[in-house]
Chain A
């Protein structure tokens, strides 16, 4: 694998697709979709060597590439992958072809532009996961925002403009603060060391003092917390999901939200350990509120998509709880749950999209008794529901188990409160499932709907296979995380204990002085 810039190839390959799409007649929908699908599929296939050749015996970044970009400002094109980003990277390439497949009959307006948005979005997301230069990260971060804005705003539902603007408003608000924080960090570290750089690894070596950290951390954390989204910054999510087309929702839930949680562990917590340590109670409290609040509100939603959107608030709260447990179980569980949530919530949105294409409604009350009518759909929907509520044997359980085990180790009360989600998630998901799928058929329209076709089955099968693989043999994935998570924790603990020791010394000096 040496010498091949595999990460850059995977990251920018979708842009090649964009160029090809421009060459195709925009009226030719099938060809456009076919080409985009093939491009995304090839991108997934060429991303697999990254997974297979990833060396799990080394904690550092692999497949790194570094080119000087703007030397004067210390900006470089620096990318690489470690055990924390690896699986999210592959998750992204896995989900994009599925998204194009599930848009096959959903999108008929401006198909070419839609596909271009999807592919540009893919490059943005992949880039954000691999960027090891803060400036480069910011470029990719913003690059994701624009196509997502269009996907919601152009191909969305009735209130798409409101939802899109809300999405941009929320996200930009955070991003701008993050940009300021990046610049402050850049100048601060530069002025201390004389080396003005955006290189993340160098910045890891030069952690500013707590008084500076806390402000920078606040800006980064706010930006990421909006993306996660953490309570109470979550209200853009239900609107964005409800209005976004299926593919948009899948990408949003599957990957974009993980930008927030990934951003926390890679940047906010990685760069500002002492500030992180100081704010654990705050973030844990918000996470736990998010878990319970999201579940309770999800229960009462009349719209299936909104229900799943609020369930995401709950699930992502659990991910944050895992990360802030700051032990190996919690963090690995958190990362694992990011993948699980990407798959199971992505699958839920795909299935809701299938229903929407058939019935042009998403209101729970408009359904009922569908199982008899569409048994194949029902079987898939059941499995996806079970994955979402963390049934052992499927993927969701592994993540939840590790997260709450980690939380339990950190603080018993956190786990006790967090684990209530196992009850609540069963309640809201099964209640929804019952109202949609069971009971008698009360609406005439539901008697005419057709079961899944081959394309739709093929969209679901890879995801369901992954549910089982990840549920039955999680070690394959966990193994790849171990050393990088260890490395993160070692660095984190080094800084945190150092500062405690320093404080003790200071305290002793003060006491001694008296």
Chain B
């Protein structure tokens, strides 16, 4: 009944294969027709899967389809198989839905690019890998997707490889992700050794009996897996690759580096919720890293000048929120924010792409301003995105962010401090997003005349996906309206069968009044962020300049991203290179070869007598070989 599940990843794979092998011969139209059809079919099938799942009673919403036995060796047996349950259904819809819109958008955005077919090949390939990641029925399938999306991210960040900066950014993304994967694969090994299986259903089933609550084993497994998540989902300390990843084409930033791939870590934790719930220490680590990343990245976003960099730091910060959510065991809240964030952040990135498109490639917001008159459609959708991410009541970001903040406060794994950090970061989010909007669309027009002359609204192929995403950013939150606001949180209930109850910790009971209070505070602080941005960038544009002068130290520190890149470069990159050179030049060449050549010299001295045999003529050597062969054969015969 669910056998068609295989087709969901298969179609993008076929699309990538066809375009990859023959795309250079096709016209642009044929290329994107193939790519869009591929992901379109995936999306339709995902919808079908979703509704079919919905028609089943909640406790039966788990479907496993095994394709074939992939690796069998010793105690390891891994299948290629797929799992459909509410969690993967949500991810399927996000990936194929947002992916579909971004494919359409790309036909407009990438239209002038000479490597059009290569772009769509990679895009399809990415969707394929991402679908393997979210649909796999075991940890190794997840890892295949995990590495696969990493590869596509590498290829797409370095898409314009003529410039070494782009190629560098791609390589950095891949290598930093591999650091995370180092932990992830060790986590997988520990799961194999512990459970003798990598199949989710089996592992999660056995977890409660095999892993004692709070035990070292559960903590070790979950922390190792989380190392992988910090890489893929750009959390402290491995977030450094994501800002650089903006070197890729903007649709890539929207699809891979905002809506889907970077949320893989959140998905992973939600998927392994049983394991994490058994390891409260790990949960604490996840929540703390998430909260710290949220505020740390937001602070760097305050002063960036590149429109995409602001959004990049914003993404890191929002991913921090998601980890804060899953880190206080509010798994469905984390996934809820993952979904709404996919809507509004894809919207913001694609909107930024529309701005960049209009400005003829300009990305520095200091060279923009007043654009709302020139590109009104883009302005409106971008403003909706800003309002959604800033947590304006009624829009999608409000519901999901507030659920996370409330859980950070009220969950048995939560802490008022976590709530406080999250709330302050929310204020910063509001500030940097309105700063971005004001600097781009309001105020003085700071671009040169030539650019101004060419500003134009984007084609419909770009505007229509933006509008759809804008609508989703507005209404996307209503599937998860909290009970305190009179909703029934469908989203939460839909995911419930996936989230296993573990341990005996009872949730605290707080009054709705407290929830309203905290909600009011977070809305209030967002409003404060808005007003500061308004004062700085609309009412009194001289103020931020003089402020930056006065607080030069902090400003420089933030603008240079706390010099983390430089520190990493010095310690790890320089360190490895230095060590490599040292070992090669000193140990290999001097020590080992010194000994070898020394021995050789001695041998040569005594071997001088035999030198006469070495005539240098291959004829003689060949005869020698022949004689040897004849000799061997003759020994055989006689």
Contacts and interface: CB of A to CB of B under 8 A. Distances in A.
Interface string B376-403: 0000000000000000000000000000
Contacts of A472: 70
Contacts of A293: 583
A235 B588 contact: yes
Contact of A329 (B75, B147, B175): B75
Nearest to A440: B162
B584 A300 contact: yes
A478 B583 contact: no
Contact of B147 (A296, A392, A415): A392
A299 interface: yes
Contact of B600 (A166, A232, A333, A386): A166
Interface string B119-151: 000000000000000000000100110011001
A430 B576 contact: no
B586 to A, nearest CB: 11
Interface string A125-153: 00000000000000100010011001000
Q: What class of interface size applies to chain B in its complex with A?
A: 35 or more
A346 interface: no
Contacts of B186: 408, 415-416, 419
A138 B379 CA distance: 79
B70 A474 contact: yes
Nearest to A486: B74
A107 interface: no
Interface stretch (B285-293, B338-346, B540-548, B621-629): B621-629
Interface string B422-458: 0000000000000000000000000000000000000
Contact of A402 (B68, B73, B579, B580): B73
B148 A333 contact: no
Given A232-B592, A328-B74, A475 B69 contact: yes
Contact of A419 (B76, B185, B599): B185
B192 A405 contact: yes
Given A392-B144, A434-B167, A296 B580 contact: yes
Contacts of A120: 625, 629
Nearest to A421: B182
B181 interface: yes
Contacts of A139: 632
Contacts of B599: 169
A422 B161 contact: no
A296 B168 contact: no
Given A372-B162, A391-B151, A419-B182, A296 B592 contact: no
Most buried by A among B70, B151, B583, B622: B622
A430 B175 contact: yes
A416 B577 CA distance: 21
Nearest to A428: B580
A108 B611 CA distance: 27
B532 interface: no
A439 B162 contact: yes
A165 interface: yes
Interface in A380-412: 386, 391-393, 397-398, 401-402, 404-406, 408-409
Nearest to A231: B592
Contacts of A169: 596, 599-600, 603
Contacts of B68: 473
Contacts of B592: 232, 235
B337 interface: no
A332 B74 contact: yes
B161 A426 contact: no
Q: How large is the interface on A (under 10, 10 to 19, 20 to 34, 35 or more residues)?
A: 35 or more
Given A297-B580, A300-B584, A328 B73 contact: yes
A38 B448 CA distance: 68
Contacts of B71: 398, 401-402, 474-475, 478
A188 interface: no
Interface string B397-430: 0000000000000000000000000000000000
Contacts of A150: 618, 621, 625
Interface string A416-431: 1001101110110011
A430 B174 contact: yes
Contacts of A165: 600
Q: Residue among A232, A333, A438 with the most chain B CB within 10 A?
A: A438
B60 interface: no
Contacts of B181: 422-423
Contacts of B577: 299-300
A405 B186 CA distance: 9
Interface string A481-506: 01000000000000000000000000
B625 A146 contact: yes
B164 interface: yes
A300 B581 CA distance: 6
A332 B77 CA distance: 13
A472 B68 CA distance: 10
Nearest to A110: B618
A116 B625 contact: yes
Contacts of A297: 580, 583-584, 588
Contacts of A374: none
A235 B584 CA distance: 10
Contacts of A296: 576, 579-580, 583
A427 B576 contact: yes
Contact of B189 (A69, A238, A405): A405
B636 interface: yes
Contacts of B73: 328-329, 332-333, 402, 478, 482
Nearest to A114: B618
B74 A406 contact: yes
Contacts of A369: 162
A150 B625 CA distance: 10
B161 A423 contact: no
Contact of A408 (B189, B583, B632): B189
Interface in B62-89: 68-76
A437 interface: yes
B179 interface: yes
A143 B624 CA distance: 12
A486 to B, nearest CB: 9
B151 A386 contact: yes
Contacts of A397: 147
Contacts of B603: 169
Contact of A154 (B584, B618, B636): B618
A371 B161 contact: yes
A498 B472 CA distance: 70
B635 interface: yes
A401 B592 CA distance: 32
A235 B625 contact: no
Interface in B29-87: 68-76
A139 B633 CA distance: 11
B193 A301 contact: no
A132 B625 CA distance: 24
A70 B634 CA distance: 12
Contact of B74 (A235, A327, A393, A431): A327
A146 to B, nearest CB: 6
A416 B154 CA distance: 25
Given A235-B593, A235-B596, A475-B71, A405 B76 contact: yes
B158 interface: yes
B345 to A, nearest CB: 28
30 contacts: A18-B629, A69-B636, A113-B618, A120-B625, A120-B629, A143-B628, A146-B625, A146-B628, A169-B599, A169-B600, A169-B603, A235-B596, A236-B596, A296-B576, A296-B583, A299-B576, A299-B577, A392-B144, A401-B71, A404-B185, A405-B76, A424-B576, A426-B175, A427-B175, A434-B158, A434-B171, A438-B164, A439-B167, A440-B163, A478-B71
Given A437-B161, A438-B161, A439-B167, 10 more contacts: A113-B619, A150-B621, A154-B621, A236-B596, A329-B75, A401-B185, A405-B189, A422-B181, A430-B154, A438-B158
Q: Give 7 closest A-B pairs by Cβ, nearest first.
A: A328-B74, A438-B167, A438-B161, A408-B189, A300-B580, A296-B580, A392-B144
